[in-house]
Amino acid sequence: MTEKMRIVVTGMGAVTPFGQGVPVFWDGIVSGKSAVRETGDEELRKWAPVAAEAVSFNANEFMDRKQARKIDRFSQMALAATGEALRDAGWENEESLKASYGSDRIGVAMGCAFGGVQTLESGGRRLATGAQHVGPRLVPKSIPNAAGANMARQWNIHGPVLTYSTACASSANAIGEASYWLRLGEADMVLAGGAECLFSPAILAGLNSAGALAAKGPGEPEGWSRPFDSGRSGMVMGEGAAILVLETYEHAVQRGARIYAEFAGYGTSSDAYHETSPDPSGREAGLAMRRALRQAGIGPGQIDYVNAHATSTKAGDAAESQALRHVFGDTLNQLPVSSIKGAIGHLLGAAGAIESIACIKAIETGMLPPTINCDSKDPAAPPDIVPNQSRRETINYALSNSFGFGGQNGVLIWKREGH
């Protein structure tokens, strides 16, 4: 990789079940806390007894009421996270952003699995109860590309603006594909990430019927999401948004930006196996990891930390464990692996982006986030899953896995700047 093709992260923003902002998210993760609670909506509780909801998020704190009414919750979260990421990267407003980049040299790459399902379901309920029409904004509020389109309008962005919908791999794929725009010279800066809010009866009932959601757990709700634990019973739904500011190294240095980490590699593949279950052999998930390693120009032994997809489903965690063993062999015995989904649940289309932020913060701080609630590790799980408490460790390369329904696999590798 030549120097002019280096890609760096200069800003990050997030809305998570822990609250607004990357510092709040990171403090919650490394402290070993859980944001999982009893589901707030009594109707939704029938299908998802517990959830990781962003209960403190209030769109009116980030936009005026008129704008908030015009857009769905997932778009609201995306705008809030984007604003934080841009400020973190050194831009206070659109004018300061224009001073660094022309509007046609900025792109938006967003991932989400469904879009504004709450808006769509609300419209369906109106018709089912006798209404003759729905609001004129139902479609533009609910379409999957709404978040990216709103981000472009808010900050006057005229470069490539695309949305990737590959289930739980959506934002990992969005970030990976955005790297190609930068390397091909189609953009100099990209806002890349994901947003998701799927707390709706239809979605939760469907996931419940598929056996994907945790239907029970030991003790309090905080302990229901149990990645790699032998007693795991399914995933816990989360919601939120996460945005990274990706720039070419050359432009970031030219404007004097702070650099958090470098983007090192991206790999993707398809299981082509089943509509919901992963290939239990882990072969294709391993293929995506190998492709990311090849693009990064490193071997498996150079990875210092793996942020696992590990959603707390029996089939998914087992398949990922197999894939990790295929790729890393005996080095897996000494490789720290963790899943943050025990703490914040599964953000689906936004998972790859928020877990990338976790990797970048691990590189920056030298602190590994723990896998909470893993009290009785599955014998097939990786030997070192960093259980329950964070750990200090120097991280030069971190690998993040995202695997979705339909066999969609996306893997990202982040590295310490200049390493």
Identity of residue 2: T
pLDDT in tens, 336-375: 999 999 999 999 999 999 999 999 999 999 999 999 999 9
Sequence-distant (6+) residues with CB within 8 A of 69 are none
User: Cβ of 255: how many Cβ atoms within 10 Å?
Assistant: 15
Q: Could you please report the per-residue DSSP string of 313-373?
A: -HHHHHHHHHHHHHHHGGGGGG--EE-THHHH-B-GGGHHHHHHHHHHHHHHH-EEPPBTT
For position 4, what pLDDT does the model report? Answer: 52
Dist. CA 302–CA 297, nearest whole Å: 10
Average pLDDT of every residue of the chain:
95
Which of 209, 227, 254 represents a domain boundary (last residue)? 254
pLDDT digits over 224-254, tens only? 999 999 999 999 999 999 999 999 999 999 9
Q: Give the pair of three-digit tokens for residue 128.
A: 């089912």
Q: Degrees (nearest 5) of the Cα angle 222, 227, 231?
A: 80
Domain span at residue 396 reads 266-415
Are 243 and 138 contained in the same domain? yes
Provide the 8-state DSSP code for 396.
Answer: S
Catalytic machinery residues: 168, 309, 346
Residue 261 included in any domain:
no
The per-residue pLDDT for range 13-26, each reduced to its tens digit, is: 999 999 999 999 99
pLDDT at residue 2 tops 50: no
Clarify whether residues 170 and 285 are in a common domain: no
Axis-axis angle for helices 201-209, 117-128 (nearest 10): 100
pLDDT in tens, 49-103: 999 999 999 999 999 999 999 999 999 999 999 999 999 999 988 889 988 999 9
- Answer with the one of 199, 225, 254 that is the final residue of a domain: 254
Q: Which residue, among 368, 360, 370, has the nearest Cα to 417 in the 3D structure?
A: 360
Q: In sequence order, which residues have a C-beta less than 8 Å from that of residue 373 and are 6 or more positions away?
A: 34, 222, 223, 224, 225, 226, 227, 229, 342, 388
Q: How many CB atoms lie within 10 A of CB 323?
A: 28
Report the number of distinct structural domains present in the chain. Answer: 2
403 to each of 58, 117, 284, 351, 387, how far by Cα in Å? Answer: 30, 22, 10, 10, 22
At 1 the pLDDT is 38
Domain match, 242 and 318 both: no
Is residue 143's pLDDT more than 80? Answer: yes
Judgement on whether residues 350 and 205 belong to the same structural domain of the protein: no
- Check whether residue 137 and residue 24 sit in a common domain: yes
Q: Is residue 216 predicted with pLDDT exceeding 80?
A: no
Residue range 38-45: mean pLDDT, rounded: 94
First to last CA, the chain: 13
- CATH number of the CATH domain containing 93: 3.40.47.10
Assigned token pair, 341: 């989904």
HSE-up of 173 (CA within 13 Å, CB side)? 22
| Beta carbons within 10 angstroms of residue 69's beta carbon | 13
Residue 282, domain member (yes or no): yes
CA 215 from centroid of its chain's CA atoms: 23
Same domain, residue pair 225 and 270: no
Tell me the pLDDT band of 3, cut-offs 50, 70 and 90: very low
- The neighbouring-strand residues paired with 377 are 229
Encode pLDDT of 258-307 as tens digits.
999 999 999 999 999 998 899 999 999 999 999 999 999 999 999 999 99
Q: Say if residue 276 is in the same domain as residue 248.
A: no
SS3 content of the chain, % helix, strand, coil (to 5): 40, 20, 40
pLDDT of 136 reads 87
d(CA 192, CA 127): 36
Higher-pLDDT residue of 134 and 325 is 325
Domain co-membership, 9 together with 118: yes
| The domain boundary residue, chosen from 223, 254, 285 | 254
Q: 259 in a domain, yes or no?
A: no
CA R_g for the chain: 20
- Identify the bridge partners of residue 12 per DSSP, sorted by sequence position: 244
β-strands 37-38, 50-51: how paired? antiparallel
Residue type (1 letter), 316? G
Taking alpha carbons only, the member of 47, 46, 52, 402 closest to residue 223 is 52
Residues 202, 130 share a domain: yes
pLDDT average, residue stretch 175-197: 97
